[in-house]
Copies of this chain bind each other. A is one copy, B any other.
């Protein structure tokens, strides 16, 4: 889409950057309030949890929650709690992924990864407790007055992040290192590993907003295509951008012998695939008209970002 940039595209990109930045700050403040420092010998655990979740990240998952929730008129404070919760879940997965026994990565968001800043034991435990906190926040009465909404959120997050979602995808990813996976298996891997949580974030906003079944289906389709587009673009960035641009180690996929969208489709093919998915994600939003402008801009952004 970078071929035909219009004035309206530039305006919406600027509006998105501002909107993303504002949401990121509000989500950051919400996490900060939900994880206050504590006294006592266990204070280092909270320090590690805060290090892993605060001070960085685009907050795309949290932004998805707040923007979808706003379409359906959900309470903004509730949406921020759910946004903070999904960012904690995401942070736990990054902390554990970076461990020496997993991806063994020393760098995350341009800073030492959690096990380098603290130690391995604290990184394992901080990740564990961040997962627990994510569920605790969803179940709390402050998130929504209706317990049925809260259990729906807990169930959706568990399905997206557990063995049949994110963690299952991570296992397929590890098992696939050093051998060629066909495209349909790479698609399934990413639908689980990164796609499920991104789709959940969109759906969580719809759950909070008591969206109708048809509106939920549209948001589901949007989240699914956005998540895949994001991952395809991520593969392109991993193959083309520098570590400085990424704020994390570059060229990891090739070094690990992983099958990626780039190894299967080539860089141009992967870029084309990302554009196609981004456009299809936008198409799912037709019924929401102007209310979905920020979600459309986000779908454009994920395939054009440089980090």
> Which residues of A are in contact with B by a Cβ distance under 8 Å?
40-42, 44-46, 49, 92, 96, 99, 101-102, 119-122, 124-125, 127-129, 131-133, 135-136, 138-140, 146-148, 150-151, 154-155, 158-159, 161-163, 167-172, 174-176, 185, 192
Which B residues touch A119, using CB under 8 A?
101
Whether B102 and A124, one on each chain, are in contact in the complex, defined by CB atoms closer than 8 angstroms, is: yes
Question: Which secondary structure dominates chain A's binding surface?
Answer: helix
Report if A136-B162 is in contact (Cβ < 8 Å); known contacts: A121-B101, A171-B125.
yes
Residue in chain B with minimal CB distance to A170:
B125
Which B residues touch A168, using CB under 8 A?
42, 45, 129
CB proximity of A142 to chain B, nearest CB, Å:
11
The distance in angstroms between the C-alpha atoms of A192 and B172, with both chains bound, is: 35
Interchain residue pairs with CB less than 8 A apart (18): A42-B163, A42-B171, A44-B171, A45-B163, A92-B128, A99-B124, A125-B170, A127-B128, A128-B167, A131-B132, A132-B161, A132-B163, A133-B158, A133-B162, A139-B151, A139-B158, A140-B155, A151-B154
Which B residues touch A131, using CB under 8 A?
128, 131-132
Task: Work out how many copies of this chain go into the complex.
Answer: 2
One of B101, B148, B162 near A132 (C-beta < 8 A):
B162
One of B122, B150, B158 near A151 (C-beta < 8 A):
B150
One of B99, B133, B140 near A163 (C-beta < 8 A):
B133
Whether B102 and A121, one on each chain, are in contact in the complex, defined by CB atoms closer than 8 angstroms, is: yes
The distance in angstroms between the C-alpha atoms of A193 and B168, with both chains bound, is: 28
Closest 5 CB pairs of A and B: A132-B162, A136-B158, A101-B120, A139-B154, A147-B147
Question: Could you say which of A42, A129, A131, A147 has the most chain B C-beta atoms within 10 Å of its C-beta?
Answer: A42
The distance in angstroms between the C-alpha atoms of A102 and B122, with both chains bound, is: 9
The distance in angstroms between the C-alpha atoms of A132 and B162, with both chains bound, is: 6
The distance in angstroms between the C-alpha atoms of A228 and B154, with both chains bound, is: 31
One of B92, B150, B162, B185 near A129 (C-beta < 8 A):
B162
Whether A167 and B99, one on each chain, are in contact in the complex, defined by CB atoms closer than 8 angstroms, is: no
One of B41, B121, B124, B146 near A172 (C-beta < 8 A):
B41
Whether A129 and B175, one on each chain, are in contact in the complex, defined by CB atoms closer than 8 angstroms, is: no
